[in-house]
Structure 1
Amino acid sequence: MTIVGYIKESFVELKNNVTWPTWAEGQKLMVVVAVFSILFSLAVWGIDVAFGELISLYYSKLS
């Protein structure tokens, strides 16, 4: 199979066999993804800050 044939079959698959969400459903899902992305990044930032403080405390006790 050539690359061109693969791309053509991919487009046919996307056109005929994929169920696409409505515009409103897509917007709702985008908001959900954005909210969870922000929450997850805040959680990772909080853990990073906490570990940074722990490491600083550890090294300050050593010297």
Structure 2
Amino acid sequence: MNNVVEFIRASYQEMSEKVTWPSYSSLQRSSFLVLVASLIFALLIGVIDLGFENAMKWFYNAF
């Protein structure tokens, strides 16, 4: 039990004293960048999926 308490104390100390937290504006910029990149990636995957779907329909209808 003593090890658990010591771990929690050490974790709290590290999170409060040693971790560098980003500013709110930096966090907003990073979040916006992740959102835009995720949307672009989702659109790209959707276009590729649509292309494969149409290719498979064409292939199966050809035979």
Same fold (TM over 0.5): yes
Q: How does 1:1-63 map to 2 (within 5 A)?
A: 1-2=3-4, 5-62=6-63
Unaligned stretches of 5+ residues in structure 1: none
- Taking structure 2 as the reference length, the TM-score comes to 0.81
Aligned residues: 61
Segments ≥4 residues shifted beyond 6 Å: none
1:46 aligned counterpart, secondary structure? helix
What percent identity do the matched residue pairs reach? 30
Kindly provide the CA deviation profile for residues 2-61 of structure 1, in whole angstroms up to 9, marking residues without a partner as x: 4x5544433322222211110011001111010000000000011000000001110000
- Could you say if the C-alpha distance between residues 19 and 51 of structure 1 is closer, same or farther in structure 2, counting changes exceeding 3 Å? same
Unaligned stretches of 5+ residues in structure 2: none
Report the AA paired with residue 27 of structure 1.
Q
- Could you say if the C-alpha distance between residues 8 and 53 of structure 1 is closer, same or farther in structure 2, counting changes exceeding 3 Å? farther
Cα distance in 2 for residues equivalent to 1:39 and 1:11:
38
